[in-house]
Structure 1
Amino acid sequence: MSSSAVSSLLLEANNLNYIAMMFIRCYCYIVIPPGTLGHLLSIYVFTRRSLLSNPCSRYFLAASIIGLLHTCYVLPMRMIQSAFVDTDPGAYSVVFCKITWLLLNSLRGLGFWFIVCACADRYLCSSRSINMRAWSSVRVANRVIPLTILIILVAYSHVPVFFEIDIIPATQKPICYPPGPPGTYRIVLSYFNLIFLGLSPSLVMLMFGLLTLRNVERAKRLRVVPTTETINITNRTTNTHMLRMLLVQVLVYCITGLTFSVALIITAINASAPKNAFQVAQENMINAAVGMLSTVGPCLSFYLFTLSSGLFRKELKKLYQKIRRTEIIHNNLRFKQLIQAMMEQ
């Protein structure tokens, strides 16, 4: 290849790398502020008395806390690693590389599996069996949430063992690869993520979602007249809104999770193939786009909740009214103090 062709190839590679960096920067700058505010509001809503007694709300609360960590840690870390030149701390510290990707993978996994737990809870709650409905309780949710965290951490305990700093052959720069170091482990990890983050949660969500809808349709046909009508109507309304929020979450998580996992598989399969600088830049750009879009569910769930549930919007409205009343009381107090000061003069 002539020197002019090599120079042209390097120029195109640099342009692609610049586009990828700017995409990650813009995405993080746009998503982090509203995502952080949204998760704080979600945590407030799901801790209200009207929702906190619902077990599905507990799983949404846990998912919102994980989403807040995802927004405030994962996105800034990905921006530091990928959106600026030679700023990845993991490329120069093996310990930082191992810990960072353990946390990044664990937080991503928790976001998916808490939604799976919510799906299972809705299925149990809608069951005709009293024994199965008993498993849909706050007590069970309080035990399942820490157990899920423990399982995810154990599932990714191999990351600190195998993740190492590697050198990109085309650019000769050190990097702590998101899909793991090149070789057999990267391929195994990619298929593990495909199963653990892509296929398994998506299939389980779909299964529980269909079973829940079947139970709901059966319950409508039965038309059982409850003895405590007011309480039962309130519970039914809350459960309906929880199901709506859950279905939207499932749709977003399934699409983004599967896309991310497939991209990891393609990267792992092509890892051993020789690449020039332009091909590496193409791969980085695709991974950047897919990796960032996979954070839509964990980082922007508040807006999905708001769009899909009137009950969620109602609690937000109460918060706004509360803040407004406090502001009016504060302004009236300041006005009275001002009038009193003027009269004393």
Structure 2
Amino acid sequence: MSLSNTSITEAMIIRENTISCIEYISTISGFCVVTISTPLRLLSLGYAIDYFSSSSAACKILTLIVMWARAQYAWFIALACVDRFLCSSSSTKLRALSSVRFASYSIPFAVLIVGLTFSHILFYYEIAFPKQLCSALRRVYQTFIGIWLLIAYSVGPPIIMLSFGLGTIQHIRQSIRRTGTNPNPHLIQNQQQQQQQRRSKKTDRQLIQMMFVQCIVFILTASLPAIQYIYTSARTNLIIDYLQAAKDSAFNYVSGFISLTKFFMEFNLQDHHDFSINNIIPKLEPSLRTIRQRRWRENQRHKFDSNQITLPLSTTDNSESNLSSSTSSQNFEDNPFISGDVDAVGVIHEQHLVCVGGGLQNDYSFNEGDDSYDDK
């Protein structure tokens, strides 16, 4: 999932958007967690190679990197929700904060703050003898790190996601009301406006459901390491047998692996509804319009070439009506501004005038005997 998100985001036209920058960095942080933590755990469980306990410096640095990357990923997702809240606001001052320039300052600031909040790991993590395990030796610090993980990693970011996500949906509703308000309150809204409102309500309901599911999944999976730290600190002075020690070790490993599942089940609701597609389509629309016009002209040219008998517009001279089909076809091909469908009696049913200007080609059609024309 992280690799696909990275490749898709890098190939998108919206890379210059703030949400693209933030999610690109969050994907990189999640990818670092998966590629660093998972191989280290597999080596420890399958081959009894524990790099965390190889030295005191490795214990401190590796633990800091893993916890830092996990928390950084969560706070980047929360920062993306804040950016969507600012971008959808009706206030020009708040919308001005949703810019690439502001994101270039907020992303390093978020990295620095999260790193400082976990810098205490360098002072309290040591190798515990005789088990050769990298852990917090002091019981008070074990309780503190468990509570700190709950606040700074498990519960804090989901609360911000939920709060600013609901605020974003409220801003979208307000913008729909402003743009869709009927200037005459006595007129009944037409069926199209009613359908648009129903679709908007359905989409808002789905977004709220996705938001709650994402926050609940994040809290449940991210809370397990914090619960494990608190549980371990509460049983430090207890004398346990080998069976209970095996149970505690199994709970430790299982909670660690479950906490990694959120990096594989990533779905970011803040850009799936209105922002990704609506940012891509306006930029692709000129190219798509040009492609549609080019294909339409090619189809009309193929239709014209498929006629075996073609006659010129003027039918006053009967001698001109006996021209060969190849000569008439060549005359029409030489004129790039007129193309049409001609039947066996030589009546042009539809003529297409191609007006070139401003870098785009606009096609107009008019019927024989009719002054009106249609803009293609």
Equivalent position of 1:181 in the other structure: 137
- Residue of structure 2 aligned with 1:88, choices 50, 58, 61: 50
Q: Secondary structure, in 3 states, of the residue corresponding to 2:119?
A: coil
SS at 1:164's partner residue? strand
1:131 and 1:47 map into 2 onto residues whose CA distance is 29
Paired with 1:175 and 1:259, the residues of 2 have a C-alpha distance of 19
User: Which SS does the other structure have where 1:149 is aligned?
Assistant: helix
Query: Structure 1 210/194 Cα, relative in aligned 2: closer, same or farther at 3 Å?
Result: same
Which sections of structure 2, spanning at least 5 residues, go unmatched? Answer: 182-203, 281-376
Code of the residue aligned with 1:284 in structure 2: it is S
Q: Contact 1:66 / 1:110 at 8 angstroms: preserved in 2?
A: yes
Q: Distance in 1 between matches of 2:216 and 2:172?
A: 19
Relative contact order higher in (CA < 8 Å, ≥ 6 apart): 1
Is structure 2 residue 229 aligned with structure 1 residue 271?
no
Taking structure 1 as reference, are residues 271 and 221 closer, same or farther at Cα in structure 2, changes over 3 Å only? farther
**Code of the aligned partner of 1:103:** I
1:141 maps to amino acid: A
Change (3 A) 1:218 1:254: farther
Distance 2:272 2:91 in 1: 27
Alignment partners' CA distance in 1, 2:49 and 2:70:
23
Query: How many Å apart are 1:309 and its aligned residue?
Result: 4.2
Partner of 1:195: 151
Structure of larger gyration radius: 2
Task: Give CA deviations for 1:239-298 in whole Å, capped at 9, x if unaligned.
Answer: x9xx89x94754542332234333332232223322222112111212212211111222
Q: Is residue 116–residue 204 contact of structure 1 (8 Å, CA) maintained in 2? A: yes
Aligned residues: 252
More strand by share: 2
- Output the CA distance in 1 between the equivalents of 2:257 and 2:20: 27
Amino acid at match of 2:155: L
TM-score (norm 2): 0.60
Give distance in 1, aligned partners of 2:263 and 2:231: 24
**Counterpart code for 1:203:** I
TM-score normalized by the length of structure 1: 0.65
The one of 87, 101, 125 aligned to 2:87: 125
AA aligned opposite 2:241: N
Are 1:182 and 1:271, in contact at CA under 8 Å, matched by a contact in 2? no
Whether 1:260 and 2:225 are equivalent positions in the alignment is yes
Greater CA deviation, 115-124 or 49-58? Answer: 49-58
Q: Which residue of 2 aligns with 1:72?
A: 35
Question: 1:193–1:261: 8 Å Cα contact kept in structure 2?
Answer: yes
- Kindly report structure 1 stretches of 4+ aligned residues shifted beyond 4 Å: 248-251, 308-312
Aligned to 2:13, what secondary structure does the other structure show? helix
Q: Are residue 50 (structure 1) and residue 6 (structure 2) matched?
A: no
Q: Percent identity?
A: 27
1:67 and 1:111 in contact (8 A); partners too: yes
Q: Within 5 A, what are the aligned runs for 1:141-290?
A: 141-167=103-129, 172-177=130-135, 180-223=136-179, 247=211, 250-290=215-255
> Higher helix proportion, which one?
1
SS at 1:89's partner residue? coil
Alignment-derived partner of residue 294 in structure 1: 259
On the 8 A contact 1:46/1:57 being kept in 2, the answer is: yes
The residue type equivalent to 2:13 in the other structure is: S
Distance 1:134 1:251, change over 3 A: farther
State how far apart, in whole Å, the 2-side matches of 1:202 and 1:305 are. Answer: 12
Answer whether contact 1:70 1:299 (CA < 8 A) is retained: no
SS at match of 1:88: coil
Distance 1:256 1:150, change over 3 A: same
C-alpha distance after superposition, 1:36-78 (max 9, x if no partner): xx32321121123432132112111001111221121121112
Q: Partner amino acid for 2:149?
A: N
CA 1:141/1:250 → structure 2, altered by over 3 Å: closer, same or farther?
Answer: farther
Q: Tell me if 1:100 matches 2:62.
A: yes
Instruction: Look up the equivalent residue of 1:283 and give its one-letter code.
Output: D
Superposed CA RMSD: 3.0
Q: In the aligned structure 1, how far is the partner of 2:117 from the partner of 2:61? A: 14
How far apart, in 2, do the equivalents of 1:251 and 1:298 lie?
A: 14
Partner of 2:74: 112
Question: Would you say the 8 A contact 1:91–1:175 is kept in 2?
Answer: yes
Report the Cα distance in structure 2 between the residues aligned to 1:78 and 1:249, rounded to whole angstroms.
Answer: 26
Using a 3 Å threshold, how does the CA distance of structure 1 residues 133 and 140 change in structure 2: closer, same or farther?
same
2:214 and 2:13 map into 1 onto residues whose CA distance is 21
